[in-house]
Chain A
Amino acid sequence: MSRKVVLTGFGCVSGLGIGLAQTWRKLAAGEGAIRPWRREAPEGHPAWRIDGPAARVDAEACRMALEQAVGDKDDLRPLGQLDPLSLHALTAGLEAVEAAGLRGHPSLARRTAILIGCGSGGNATMDQAYERLYARDLAKVHPQTIPASMISAPASHLAMVLGVHGPTFVIASACASSAHALGEAMHMIRSGRADVAIAGGSEACLTLGSWTAWSAVGVMADDTCRPFSKDRKGMVLGEGAAVVVLESEDHAQARGANIVGELAGYGTSSDAADMTAPDREGIETAIRAAHEDAGIAPEVPALISTHGTGTRLNDPVEAAAIRAIYGRSLEASTVIATKSAHGHLIGATAAMEFVIGMEALARGAAPPVLNHLGAAPDCDLPLALAQASPGAVPIDHRVVVSNSFAFGGLNAVLIGRLPS
């Protein structure tokens, strides 16, 4: 009996668009979603001002897509108030399950797990509640504040809409959350605890409070995201969700599913060193562990989807780790950094990048690294840069390595492969 873990459906939502088709169209054309985000301060609150780049989801289009996917709006009633965190997860999750042909399938009820990675809970809902309390001195907040904003709400909401009764929870490891979610989901299937897993990540952190907190860390760019580039200034926040349907190969074959790939390897490590600075040893440990788990040697040419935040610290440390592991064989591989297009989706970013990586393999085209101003002396990598035309760069790889390295030194690396 094979417990190989195959992929049968993808869904995603980000500033690039609602759904994988829209997302890929933008990526293939070399278009990004990072735009200036400005909010003037209202009278009496000069600090309530936002001015910087961000990659925001079209909330109305997302809501419409969700209602269309659900079919009957009444089915959303029991969910109560939906924070954008859940809105994103539901829209991407339903797309993935629909693509997998699993809507209404009996396996959803008992033999399916839901693992969603989130960096933080429903920031918009909490911001609204705290604004009443702190700024307007109102003692009462909306009674739905807790159920709508709790970090596990997206997992509960997906389970309710899909009728999933199996293991369902959220995994939080900051920017690696959804890599851990996919990896742990893979292990659940390998170990026989589930036949199907709906796994991914969701984030909705573009609020005044969250924005201000992120700005204080000192890692945000004031122009755009330029991974591995000279004159890079930092990361740019995005938002959205990406969800993958994973199945045991046996389960997928038995129901005649269209198998679009395999989650072949997962490596994870903890730096145990610093709350914000990356650690080369920890990163290398996770990448090597993923290769070992997949049984794929680092010498095999691959699409390498970097964490590539565009921050001063991440990029040189990640570049050095990649150089150390892949050595000269790196020249036959292709290195991408798609945060330059969709921004940093924090808890959702790893799943988004894994989905994009798999799509790139299937289409034989790598989304170019955007906003690049020329090689940075401390980041020596063969990047997929747009050459003659602004669009995707042709590739011929069967393997994607997708890196995620979170604040707090929590690393997770996924290796996906096209079906043989």
Chain B
Amino acid sequence: MTLLGQFALWTALLLGVTVGALGLSGAWRGRPDLTAVVTRAPAAILLACAVAALALWRGIIGHDFNIEYVAAYTSRNLPTGFLVSALWAGQKGSLLFWAVVLSLFGALAQWLTSRRYADLLPYVAGVTSIAVAFFVCVMLFAANPFDRLAFTPADGRGLNPQLQNIGMIVHPPMLYLGYISITVPFAFAIAALLSGRLDTGWIHAIRKWTLVSWLFLSIGITLGMWWAYVELGWGGYWAWDPVENASLLPWLTMTAFLHSVMIQEKRGMLKRWNLMLIVGTFLLSIFGTFITRSGVIASVHSFTQSNVGWFFLGFLIVSAVLSYTLLYTRWPKLEADTRLESVLSREAAFLFNNLLLVGIAFSVLWGTLFPILSEAVKGTKITVGPPFFNRVNVPLGLLLLGLTGVGPLIAWRHASSANLKRQFVAPTAVGLLVLAACLATGMRDLYAVVALTFGGFTAGTIVQEFWRGVRARMRMHDEAAPLALARLMGRNRRRYGGYVVHVGILIYCVAFAGMAFHRTEEATLKPGEAIEVRSPFGHTYTLTHVGLSQYDELNRTVTAATMAVAVDGRPAGMLTSEKRQHFVQPGDVSTRRPTFEPSTEVGIRSSLREDLYLVFAGAVDDTETAVYRVNVNPLVWWVWAGGVVLVLGGLITMWPGGGALVTAPRRVPVAARVEPAPQLVGAEGAP
């Protein structure tokens, strides 16, 4: 099997390099035969990578512990689901997984792209194939998942318990899908630059691709937060760790791109900026991979240090230099078609939004790299942590939240005072009402008050947009409200899907603000003793230590600590947290030996208002006395809810059909429509 895997990898490498050279050099121009080869090759590369992955999976499932990777990450007693996910649990396997997904996207880009962009596709094939070749190259020369050991161990070392979680089966693939699919928009951008076809064509070609990667990245980040929250046991979901920041950076620049690209579609501006953003997003995704895998920046959760990182740094530098040089040579061709007419316009609002998003991305990058920068410049390493990121990003994020409310309201080109009055009165009133309510209830935390006020304003905007659209449809088509709403969204998917995404972001913001009010208590308790924790919502939890129990389960020994929970004196069930010691056991019980440090399984009692989060930190000297930490985390449920709304919105936006926001009226003759285009009956602010 390893031989087959090795062979498949070499095939992928050779194909990738050849197609890359042919595709990027433009040698296929005027040669239909070569063009066909280049555009079909990504399917062959996909096949080669898939064969390699299947070969490794075969080794994992068949417990072939002679393969170093299989011995290092699995064991005989590992449940099947985790055997499957072991493919991406370690450095080497995850590189292979990456190559497979990347080649899949490379092939999909060829299959799913409209023939209208046929002259871009060979270039796209060139870029995606080179990228696959790079990953295969890293495997073959630095981290080969098919390496064999000189001997065959009786059993493997097992999978790290923290990776034995459902979140870990789904989180990395989602994040990878997001990270990896960024390559497709990047490939189209490079294709547009190489071909010199710099009209808005390539923008249309990648619109959905960008949304796809944005969506996967959003899901991946949210699942990552969830995994950290339920598995790492420190009580929160976001710690501004370099690895987390690495996933946030491309998300921020991609979000900026998704907004600014509308200006290019609508007004022919920002061509250079958009190209810089998409190239930058790709580079940030590679940068993220570099810091996750090289260990250059101290992170609590990073892969083992290895020289793999330097491959990524090399790739990063080469890609950056080549892409930006290419962009520079095409600079004069990227002149904007129009100019900004007024600062009171949607263009300007979007530009400010872009500046803020890029500003946030820059500050996150700066904070992440600061230890290295300060050491290089001043000779002493200075680190910044969560206080820095919160200090910088909370005000910027709040401004952005405000702009989220402004953007959809303000007219393109030049907002008249009539437009401003008509659009802003209601949302502003909502914002002010929220402000008054905050002050009346005695809330004095500046950021929380501003967050809720801006949140109210933005929510007002979204509701007003929906309300006006629905009302117009109800009047014109005599439809009932639910039908009008469904049709309104169905026919303006980008616009209303976008608003749903904004609702998701709004929910996130409120949930994040809530976390600022969390409470923590620690206690050492004998059975029968209790600890009290006050909730920021005013009630009091009383947790009474009931006792400990110990038992074996599957591949671990569990020590479970149980507490009886009471809310304001009323009993509210039990909550259990576990310490788990995993083991491998190649033969009978006498061959059992522990693997890894003990791990904690937290107990969570979740409600709409707050989570009660219980950590059993250990027993005192093998008695029944237990050490606990209890957190009350407000509004955590809403983070996951916000994620779901965001994903729904994203799906609505990219659902096939339904017509594009801007181009539909141009492409489809209005006369051919049975009904007038809904855009025409929407609010004045509609394009």
* Binding partners A and B: no
Query: Residues on B close to A: CB < 8 A?
Result: none
Query: Residues on A close to B: CB < 8 A?
Result: none
